[in-house]
Amino acid sequence: MSGTHTPSGGSPRLNTSVAHNARVWNYWIGGKDNYEVDQRVGEQVAGMFPVIRDVARADRDFLGRAVRHLAAERGIRQFLDVGTGLPTVDNTHEIAQRIAPDSRIVYVDNDPIVLAHARTLLTSTPEGVTGYIDADVHDPDTIVAGAAATLDLGRPVAVMMLGILNFVLETDRAREIVRRIMAAVPPGSYLVLTHPTYDADLGGEGNVPAMEFWNANATPPITARGRAEVAAFLEGLDLVEPGLVPCSQWRADAPSPAAVPQFGAVAVKP
Ligand SMILES: C[S@@+](CC[C@H](N)C(=O)[O-])C[C@H]1O[C@@H](n2cnc3c(N)ncnc32)[C@H](O)[C@@H]1O
């Protein structure tokens, strides 16, 4: 193990009486690191918006395809995974280091249960390194400073923001966070993004009542966005084919997968 761990002390205390996103997400993708309250809220949301499990799995599958593409075909050796979630079957460092053992990965989350499980994320090949920063996405300067302890910010980095900007409720603030982090990495770096949408053409209208229920019963509060707002996060970057699409359809392994109401995109900093 060659991991580093940087506690910031800023995390809220572990609360097992309120459903937390990291644990409910873990429940939807079939994990075991969740409590009864997470299962109950997860079931209620899934009852209102049955596609949510497909969304969660499609998002993780997209993560795998995007990391494999970047490591195998674009030569990326550094990953900054913001809002990483609880460890699961194939985490970013495992996928990247299978292709390139010298890959360096920094994980970021602010949920105390993710911090508690960080050991699993901090395994690494001997040639590579993994780090963990306990930080809030609303504080990009702390994230950049912490990442610089493990990553060489003079070399390209894949900034992974999967299912995280939806927790930054003000769109202008979310755009500023993306700008700040992408400004800290050099040309040739990538932004990898997924984001839920309420766009009806992707079946996203059910996100509206489901997220209202979530915001009344769970934490942290969440929002969906329309295509134009999600596209704006990618401004100034060059989209990798096939562009901004339902994440299930981004360089899919199987032919014609169903669309899910969760956008996915990979874009490079020119
Ligand atoms: C929907 S999960 C996504 C997990 C993973 N990126 C994926 O796509 O499978 C969102 C993660 O973001 C984390 N998160 C939520 N708000 C955050 C914040 N303000 N700062 C840092 N992480 C946050 C949650 O704890 C959770 O682990």
Residue type (1 letter), 123: T
Give the pLDDT of residue 6. Answer: 37
Residue 9 pLDDT grade (very low, low, confident, very high; cuts 50, 70, 90): very low
For the segment 256-266, the average pLDDT, to the nearest whole number, is 97
Distance, CA of 229 to CA of 109 (rounded, Å): 23
Long-range CB pairs of 138-142 (<8 Å, 24+ gap) are 138/168, 138/173, 138/177, 139/10, 140/177, 140/180, 140/181, 141/180, 142/8
Boundaries of domain holding 202: 3-268
Q: Would you say residue 1 has pLDDT above 80?
A: no
Report the nearest-CA residue for atom 11 of ligand 1: 83
Omega of the bond leading into 261 within 30 degrees of 0 (cis): no
Return mean pLDDT, the chain: 94
For the segment 251-261, the average pLDDT, to the nearest whole number, is 94
Of 13-22, 98-107, 144-153, the poorest mean pLDDT is in 13-22
Give the pLDDT of residue 14. Answer: 75
| CA-based end-to-end distance of the chain | 35
Report which of 199, 223, 201, 203 is spatially closest to residue 212, judged by C-alpha positions: 223
Residue 167 pLDDT grade (very low, low, confident, very high; cuts 50, 70, 90): very high
Ligand 1 centroid from CA 38, angstroms: 15
For the segment 249-258, the average pLDDT, to the nearest whole number, is 94
Report which of 263, 262, 174, 166 is spatially closest to residue 222, judged by C-alpha positions: 166
For the segment 110-118, the average pLDDT, to the nearest whole number, is 93
DSSP designation for 240: P
Q: Would you say residue 185 has pLDDT above 70?
A: yes
Report the atom number in ligand 1 closest to the C-alpha of 138.
Answer: 19
Q: Which of 21, 23, 90, 91 to mutate to test the pocket of ligand 1 (most atoms within 8 A of CB)?
A: 21
For the segment 182-193, the average pLDDT, to the nearest whole number, is 98
Distance, CA of 235 to CA of 3 (rounded, Å): 33
Q: Is 22 touching ligand 1 by the criterion CB < 6 Å?
A: yes
Ligand 1 centroid from CA 65, angstroms: 19
Give the pLDDT of residue 121. Answer: 85
pLDDT tens, residue by residue, 195-244: 999 999 999 999 999 999 999 999 999 999 999 999 999 999 999 999 99
Q: Is 163 touching ligand 1 by the criterion CB < 6 Å?
A: yes
Q: Where are the beta strands (DSSP E) in 101-248?
A: 104-109, 129-134, 158-162, 190-196, 218-219, 238-239, 245-246
CATH number, residue 113: 3.40.50.150
Overall domain count for the chain: 1
Report which of 147, 16, 21, 141 is spatially closest to residue 80, judged by C-alpha positions: 147
Residue 13 pLDDT grade (very low, low, confident, very high; cuts 50, 70, 90): low
Q: Is the dihedral of CA 223, 227, 232, 238 positive or negative?
A: positive
* Integer Rg of the chain from CA: 17
Of 1-5, 100-104, 186-190, 248-252, the poorest mean pLDDT is in 1-5
Q: Would you say residue 164 has pLDDT above 90?
A: yes
Q: Is 166 touching ligand 1 by the criterion CB < 6 Å?
A: no
